[in-house]
């Protein structure tokens, strides 16, 4: 792609998200979402092969529908109450409609079917943008409407997407689909806490973005798109292969690692709100996700590739890819738990 | 609910239903999207006309500009999908399923 065009597209992505962050008016927030969608479409379709075009078409249809639904709900709210402010969405049917539209945009459970397929059609860099940056703008709106949305709806969406995210990933061998299902499960955790403590949603989003970028960068470094490619990574870069195991367990939320922090705080808050059953269901549903992360760990560190390997390690050519971001972000993915009080007090 | 409100809501919901349940051609999905956008255009322009507020008079035009961009992106994707898949049937977009 022409570098000037690429620059325009990347800056439009930035501008779209910034516009949604800045706006308190529904129309401007909608414009930001639309700019975001329109800017990533050429990036997704730049390798002109059938899978990329198919993924782009599916992404376009879902995102355009979701954006139109958001604007319709806010227009209905304006007709009923005369108010365009995001935080004052008081008409109850339009609140529900906005929640559904935003759930479609970020891929929460009953509306998640586009997410794995779209992720599968992209290359890993665009997939990284899709899993991280494209979530920010919808979450800016979700955070602002958190006080007016229907609590039952939010709980249902949260539990359902944690279950579906865990369950759907069990059957997959493609890494990008596994990451998409892991994204669905993490979105469920973010939504379940939204009504009680919206700050924790932001904390979970931040930690999720760190962890999933580390995974995408690691897969990009090894050019891995299937589980059986992972069995060869030890011969390419043994240290990274070893490091990936705690990264995956952190994504699954095991205690001495970063991924445990949001789950811990969310479970604590849910228990404080006398929702022990919800908390137990969430914790048990995460075990499903943990199973497929463990399967990835097993494939990476405990098995050999089914191919014949003539040498025990491949020739170490210096990789042209940048490793500094990967090193930083994988350290963050593994070792952030001890500074939980600092992060918690920063975000509160 | 005023008659104007009812009519644009009905138009939008019809468009949404068409997009959700009538899934043969990509072009018909794009037409449904465009119908939804036009009903929103009516809604915004009627709102600013009824309230006679000058500051909201530009919003329908902004909406129209964005929906035109969206429609052109959709048509470009229609062309791309036809070139890679051979048809524009939505049933043929099944390479990524598992």
| Token pair in block for residue A184 | 């669905």
The partner residue sitting opposite A177, judged by closest CB among B12, B40, B98, is: B98
- How many angstroms separate the CA atoms of B40 and B59, rounded? 11
Asked if A218 reaches chain B (Cβ–Cβ under 8 Å), the answer is: no
The partner residue sitting opposite B96, judged by closest CB among A55, A68, A72, is: A55
User: Does the domain spanning B3-87 belong to CATH 1.10.287.3510?
Assistant: yes
Question: What is the pLDDT at residue A312?
Answer: 63
Could you tell me which of A185, A195, A22 has the C-alpha nearest to residue A116? A185
- Candidates B36, B63, B77, partner chain A, best to mutate (most A CBs within 10 A): B77
Each domain of chain B, given as residue ranges in start order, spans 3-87
Asked if B26 reaches chain A (Cβ–Cβ under 8 Å), the answer is: yes
Question: What is the pLDDT at residue A228?
Answer: 84
CA A176 vs. chain centroid, Å, equals: 12
Whether A53 and B98 lie within 8 Å, measured CB to CB: no
Q: Does residue B96 register a pLDDT over 90?
A: no
Asked if A12 reaches chain B (Cβ–Cβ under 8 Å), the answer is: no
Whether A57 and B26 lie within 8 Å, measured CB to CB: yes
Distance from CA of B37 to the nearest CA of A (A): 7
Question: What is the pLDDT at residue A59?
Answer: 96
Could you tell me which of A90, A65, A66, A96 has the C-alpha nearest to residue A78? A90
Question: What is the pLDDT at residue B22?
Answer: 87
Burial state string for B35-49 with b = 16 or more CB within 10 A and e = fewer than 16: bbbbbbbbbbbbbbe
Mean pLDDT within B63-71: 95
Burial state string for A282-313 with b = 16 or more CB within 10 A and e = fewer than 16: beebbebbbebbbbbbebbbeeeeeeeeeeee
Q: Does residue B93 register a pLDDT over 90?
A: no
Each domain of chain A, given as residue ranges in start order, spans 150-306+323-347
- How many angstroms separate the CA atoms of A163 and A165, rounded? 5
Question: What is the pLDDT at residue A308?
Answer: 66
Q: Output phi, psi for B25, to 5 deg.
A: -110, 150
Residue of A nearest to B19 (CA): A65
SS3 helix, strand, coil % of chain B, rounded to 5?
80, 0, 20
Question: What is the pLDDT at residue A307?
Answer: 65
Whether B96 and A117 lie within 8 Å, measured CB to CB: yes
Residue of A nearest to B94 (CA): A54
- How many angstroms separate the CA atoms of A307 and A232, rounded? 9
CB-CB neighbors (< 8 A) of A37 in chain B: 70
Question: What is the pLDDT at residue B97?
Answer: 82
Residues 6+ apart with CB under 8 A from A11: none
Could you tell me which of A152, A155, A164 has the C-alpha nearest to residue A285? A164
Burial of residue A168, with CB atoms counted within 10 A of its CB: 0-12 exposed, 13-18 middle, 19 or more buried: buried
pLDDT in 10s for each residue of chain A, 348 residues: 899 999 999 999 999 999 999 999 999 999 999 999 999 999 999 988 999 999 999 999 999 999 999 999 999 999 999 889 999 888 999 999 999 999 999 999 889 999 999 999 999 999 999 999 999 999 999 999 999 999 999 999 999 999 999 999 998 999 999 999 999 999 999 999 999 999 999 999 999 999 999 999 999 998 888 988 888 888 788 888 889 999 999 999 998 899 999 999 999 999 999 999 999 999 999 999 999 999 999 988 887 666 666 666 667 777 788 889 999 999 999 999 999 999 888 887
Asked if B5 reaches chain A (Cβ–Cβ under 8 Å), the answer is: yes
Distance from CA of B48 to the nearest CA of A (A): 10
pLDDT band, residue B72 (cuts 50/70/90): very high
- Candidates A35, A36, A50, partner chain B, best to mutate (most B CBs within 10 A): A50
Greater confidence, B96 or A315?
Answer: B96
Question: What is the pLDDT at residue A279?
Answer: 95
Asked if B77 reaches chain A (Cβ–Cβ under 8 Å), the answer is: yes
Whether A38 and B85 lie within 8 Å, measured CB to CB: no
Distance from CA of B43 to the nearest CA of A (A): 7
Question: What is the pLDDT at residue A113?
Answer: 93
**Contact (Cβ atoms closer than 8 angstroms) between residue A165 and residue A182:** yes
Asked if A170 reaches chain B (Cβ–Cβ under 8 Å), the answer is: no
CA distance readout (Å), A337 to A190, A254, A331: 18, 11, 11
CA distance readout (Å), B47 to A95, A338, B41, B59: 20, 54, 10, 10
For B14-39, write each residue's pLDDT tens digit. 999 999 998 889 999 999 999 999 99
- DSSP labels, A280-310: HHHHHHHHHHHHHHHHHHHHHHT---SS--S
- DSSP labels, A169-235: HTT--BHHHHHHHHHHHHHHHHHHTTTT-HHHHHHHHHHHHHHHHHHHHHHHHHT--BHHHHTTHHH
**Contact (Cβ atoms closer than 8 angstroms) between residue A329 and residue A214:** yes
Question: What is the pLDDT at residue A32?
Answer: 96
Mean pLDDT within B65-78: 95
CB-CB neighbors (< 8 A) of B2 in chain A: 79
Whether A27 and B33 lie within 8 Å, measured CB to CB: no
Whether B47 and A79 lie within 8 Å, measured CB to CB: yes
- How many angstroms separate the CA atoms of A65 and B21, rounded? 13
DSSP H helical ranges for A85-197:
92-106, 114-120, 124-131, 133-144, 151-169, 175-192
Q: Does residue B92 register a pLDDT over 90?
A: no
Question: What is the pLDDT at residue A16?
Answer: 95
pLDDT band, residue B1 (cuts 50/70/90): confident
Whether A54 and B59 lie within 8 Å, measured CB to CB: no
Share of chain B above pLDDT 90, in %: 73
Could you tell me which of A149, A145, A150, A143 has the C-alpha nearest to residue A204? A143
């Amino acid at each position: 792609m022409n570098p000037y065009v690429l620059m325009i597209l990347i800056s439009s992505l930035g501008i779209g998200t910034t516009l949604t962050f800045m706006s308190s008016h529904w129309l401007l927030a909608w414009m930001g979402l639309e700019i975001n969608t329109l800017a990533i479409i050429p990036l997704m379709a730049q390798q002109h092969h059938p899978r990329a075009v198919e993924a782009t078409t599916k992404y376009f249809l879902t995102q355009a529908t979701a954006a139109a639904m958001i604007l319709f709900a806010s227009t209905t709210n304006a007709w009923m109450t005369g108010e365009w402010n995001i935080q004052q969405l008081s008409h109850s049917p339009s609140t529900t409609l906005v929640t559904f539209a935003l759930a479609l945009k970020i891929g929460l459970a009953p509306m998640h079917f586009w997410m794995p397929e779209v992720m599968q059609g992209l290359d890993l860099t665009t997939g990284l943008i899709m899993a991280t940056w494209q979530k920010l703008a919808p979450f800016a709106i979700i955070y602002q409407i958190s006080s007016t949305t229907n609590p039952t709806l939010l709980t249902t969406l949260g539990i359902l997407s944690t279950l579906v995210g865990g369950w759907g990933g069990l059957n997959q061998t493609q890494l990008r689909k596994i990451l998409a299902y892991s994204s669905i499960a993490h979105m469920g955790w973010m939504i379940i806490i939204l009504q009680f403590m919206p700050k924790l949603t932001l904390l979970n989003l931040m930690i999720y973005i760190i962890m999933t970028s580390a995974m995408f960068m690691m897969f990009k470094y090894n050019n891995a798109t299937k589980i059986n490619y992972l069995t060869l990574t030890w011969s390419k870069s043994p240290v990274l292969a070893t490091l990936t195991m705690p990264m995956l367990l952190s994504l699954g939320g095991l205690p001495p690692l970063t991924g445990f922090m949001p789950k811990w705080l969310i479970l604590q808050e849910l228990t404080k709100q006398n929702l022990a059953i919800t908390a137990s269901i969430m914790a048990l549903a995460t075990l499903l996700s943990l199973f497929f992360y463990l399967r990835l760990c097993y494939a990476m560190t405990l098995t050999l590739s089914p191919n014949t390997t003539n040498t025990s390690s491949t020739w170490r050519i210096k990789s042209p890819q940048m490793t500094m971001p990967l090193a930083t972000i994988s350290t963050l993915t593994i070792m952030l738990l001890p500074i939980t009080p600092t992060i918690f007090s920063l975000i509160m | 609910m005023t008659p104007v409100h009812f009519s644009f809501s009905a138009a939008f919901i019809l468009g949404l239903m068409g997009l959700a349940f009538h899934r043969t051609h990509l072009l018909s999905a794009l037409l449904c999207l465009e119908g939804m956008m036009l009903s929103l255009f009516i809604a915004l322009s009627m709102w600013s006309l009824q309230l006679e507020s000058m500051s909201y008079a530009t919003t329908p035009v902004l909406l129209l500009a964005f929906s035109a961009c969206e429609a052109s992106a959709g048509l470009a994707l229609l062309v791309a999908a036809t070139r890679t898949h051979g048809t524009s049937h939505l049933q043929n977009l099944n390479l990524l399923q598992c």
